[in-house]
Structure formats: C-alpha cells, structure tokens
Chains A and B, each alone.
Chain A
C-alpha cells in the first residue's frame, strides 16, 4: 500500500486538505473574529485582512461592555474562574476517591468491587438528566443547590468512572511482583501503594486527571441545572452572555476563545493519552 499511483496520491492530498479545512476553519475563523470590532465583523463581504483590535478581550477582562444602550456589567471572568475552581476541585476529589478504589479493583478480585466499577460505568452512559432532575429537588431540600460542593459532587459522575477505569488498567499492567517484594522487605501495604504502585502508574493517573479536567470543563448540563449566575462555569456563562450582550459579536467570539483555550492546550499537551482515555482504556494509541 506504500506505493500508490500519482492519481491516488493527488486524491489523498485533496481529501486531506478538505478534512483539514472543515475541522480547522471554525476555530480559525472565531479566533479571527475575536480580534475584530463589530463594524469589521458586519462588513460584507467578510475580509481576511483587517486591523486587529484587543478591545473585545479588554471589555471581557474589565467586565465593562460598552453598548449603544450604555455600559453593561458582565462577569465572564467570574465564569472562567468558576470553571477552574469546579474542574480542579472535581479532579482532585475524583483522584482521592478513585485511585485507591482503582487499585483495589486491580489487585483484589472481589464481587462488590466489580459491582461498583460496572455501576459507575453504566451510569456513564445513562441519561444525565435522569439523575440530575431528582437530584436538583434533593439539593433544594439539602441546601446544596448552587454551592460549589454540590456541583463538584455531581461532577464525580463524569470524573470518577474515567479515573477508575483508566487507572485500573494502568495498575493491572504493573506486575504485582514488585509490590510483593517490597512487602517482603517489611513494608506495609500502604507504603507499597504510595511508594511503588502509585509512582509506577503515575503517567496513567496524570492522563486520567487531565482528561477528567477537560470533560468537567466542557460539561454543560450539570451546571445549567444546578448553578445560578455566580457559580456558573464558562459553558453555561457563554450561553447566558450571548443572550445578554445581544449583538456584541466580537465579544462573543472572544468569550468563546477564552472558554476553549484551556482545554485545547491541555488536550495538545496530553494528546498521547487521549486515545486510551477516550475509550476508557480499551484502545491503546
């Protein structure tokens, strides 16, 4: 298959170019838009060459939106901050809960372990609203509605299965012999776990953590239901921002760019592990 005809190679080249245009164009175009003033955006025909402006980003960062109707207070930076808080806290909690459990599931074959692992997996594929809607009623009674803790707790639905199944795979790939030898030298299981197993599974744990961060960040429906304006992450905030700002298209584009930049950078950084993570450890890249 390495020696293909010239026509075949041209066909492949054109096909690849079309693929690249389709998948990259929206990102590039929104990035360009975010550096344009509203007048530049509304120009017809649209131009690729323009004088870039940072005004959209300045407005978002300062929280002051100048519109024809006057100044508008916006809190997009707060949404960005919320995304950081919610995603990081969720990943840390999921790692604390998930890594020991993943170790238990990998090293000891016990019924309850399999039940937990598969229950979490099957709820990864259940409709999120099925759990969220009753939960929102419970949360109102418990006073957990619109608290960081309440939202972080439901984000475990996203992060925990991911961490459990990816890290479990990594633990299973490490031979228990090393830990046994270490135990024979008189160390406790806890030392064997923290000094041998966790460092050896380190790359897997890091990958699972990064991926969970991305998925928590990208989540929309959980916070849509459980968070009000001052706890909302960027996904929900951006939508509200579109409604509030009306026709400030440049600022909307800038808000989109700020919302996606952290996850895209993380994805590029962790790309080696994404295949394994996306398939919950079933396919190795």
Chain B
C-alpha cells in the first residue's frame, strides 16, 4: 500500500508528453462522440418536422406551420386518449410491479441457496424479448385452445376474451408487462435489501420491536433510494411501451391501447403524417426528459455509493 502511494506521487506525466496526454482523452472518446452526433442529428430533425406540415403522401404541401401540430392536439380527442392510456398504463404497471417486486424481494431476502435459485429463475421472463413474451401470452390466451382461456372458463368466465375485448385488453397487456418487468424491480430491490447494514435490524430484534414497525421505519426508509431508482427506471420505459402493445394488439381493439409510441408509429407509417408523428414524440420526449433528469440525479447518488466514492 505504501509502495503504491509512493509510486503515485512520482507518476505525474512527463512534461515532454504532456500535449499528447491532453489530447488523449479526446481521441479515445471520438468514436463515442460520433455516435452521439448520429443520435442528435435525427433528434433535431424530428424537432423540426414537428413544426412542419409534412405528409409523405403529399410532399408538395410541405411547409413550416409553427406549433400548429401541437395546437391541433388540444382539440383532438385521439391525442387525449393517447395521453390518458399512456398515463394509466404507466401508473398501473409501475405500481403493480413495484408492490409485487418488493414483496418478492422481501420473500427472498435471506441468501439461502433456494432463494438464490428462485431469483435466478425469475430473471428468465426479464431476459425474454418483450415482443416474444407478448406472443407467448397470445398463444396462452387464444380463445380456441389457450390454456388461460380454458382455466378462466373452468372458473366460470367462458367469455373472457383477454386482449381482443376492449374491456379486458388493458388488463391483459398489463399482465404481460408485469410478467416481464416485475423481476427487474425485484432484482434491484433484492440487491438493495441485502446490502443494508445489519446493526439496526439486530438492535430492533433485541428490543423486541414489532415487525411492522421495523418494516415501515427501518427497512423502507433505508431501501428508498433503491425503490426510487428502480421505479423511475420502469416509469421511463413504461410510458414509452411499444413492443408488448404492438405485438399483442397493435394499439387495439379500436384505440383502446393507443399508447404514445404505437400512435406515433401508426401516424408515420399508416397515415404518413410525419409532422404529427414527430410532434407526438416530442411531447413524449418532454415528459421522459423531465423524468430522466430526476432519475439521473438519484441514479448518480446510488452509483457513487456502489463504487465507493460517495
């Protein structure tokens, strides 16, 4: 250790090579910078499109129209439907996944071999491609042979139509989202739970403090940074949900599941209305940008703790 410190004190870069040392970090990050630019150019383009009347099928009508695309949304029930469905979808999935994930993490808290095996098994849904997961559930909810349709039939609901019925479509898609992403919250919270210091829990046990008090006054507050980071992660992904909804119902039945990105995709490819699609995505970006700023702050704090330089 003392040797290492000694070496460090002498390890200043030599004067002759200083200019190269200065340039080095820039050279190393140049390729990453290129990728950044390659992302930013289409992003700025999208922002410009959102201010244009731009339809792929009517190119001669293309022109700058200011914020008209946005103003049109205000009086457009389809837009409010999209906003409402996206927010409901996000709220329901994140709350369900958070409660379920926290519950499972608590069940698996003690690091026994069995608990570890279960937590590894739960990784499998998370590592399944969400679009493929949607297909799996589609097979299981198929009205003619789906095992789940059969089971709810036994339970006395033979007409349960899952994703093809407007009244149960949201429930079905949320169920798939919960199946895929609950393990994400679980695995982060489990790592958090296991990293908590032992002393407060041992002291509480010695004093005979009731379990509910320990949970609400010790466990939850100490776990809060993990809960916040995991939920924001999910919040950001959930409000942009595309794969599961598209693979399962393409936004239907009707416009029942028209979340932001599915609506924007259809605006672009079905109605070839680039301007409107871009404006829709800019609004979604605004929402996610606010959320991701909050997220990054929390995440940086947690990261600094994990890497030992808080």
Contact = CB atoms under 8 A, between A and B. Distances in A.
B25 A127 contact: no
A260 B128 contact: yes
A145 interface: no
Contact of A23 (B124, B261, B282, B308): B124
Interface stretch (A52-60, A61-69, A70-78, A93-101): A93-101
Nearest to A188: B17
B7 A112 contact: no
B274 interface: yes
Given A129-B261, A129-B281, A181-B7, A120 B179 contact: no
Interface stretch (B88-96, B159-167, B183-191): B183-191
B77 interface: no
Given A30-B139, A133-B264, A160 B32 contact: yes
A252 B7 contact: no
Name, among A30, A157, A217, the residue most crowded by chain B CB atoms within 10 Å (CB to CB). Answer: A30
A220 B31 contact: no
Contacts of A104: 24-26, 28-29
A: interface residue count bin: 35 or more
B217 to A, nearest CB: 15
A120 B260 CA distance: 22
Interface string A38-61: 000111111000000000000000
Contacts of B32: 97-98, 101, 116, 120, 160, 164
Given A131-B46, A175-B4, A103 B28 contact: yes
Contacts of A271: 120, 123
Interface residues of B, number: 108
A126 B132 contact: no
Contacts of A281: 303, 306-307
Contacts of A10: none
A228 interface: no
Contact of B43 (A15, A22, A110, A131): A131
Interface string B17-43: 000010011101101110110111111
22 contacts: A24-B124, A29-B140, A97-B31, A101-B29, A118-B296, A123-B43, A127-B240, A127-B285, A129-B265, A130-B42, A133-B264, A184-B7, A189-B21, A218-B127, A264-B124, A267-B127, A268-B124, A275-B191, A279-B233, A279-B299, A281-B306, A283-B229
A96 B214 CA distance: 48
A125 B145 CA distance: 39
B255 interface: no
Contacts of B237: 125
Given A119-B36, A218-B128, A130 B302 contact: no
Given A105-B29, A113-B25, A284-B191, A133 B277 contact: yes
Interface string A187-202: 0010000000000000
B25 A108 contact: yes
A132 B291 CA distance: 21
Contacts of B201: 1
A180 B9 CA distance: 9
A3 B185 CA distance: 27
B307 A172 contact: yes
Contacts of A96: 31
Given A128-B261, A221-B243, 14 more contacts: A2-B110, A24-B121, A27-B136, A122-B289, A122-B292, A126-B289, A131-B46, A177-B5, A220-B130, A249-B142, A267-B127, A281-B307, A284-B306, A285-B191
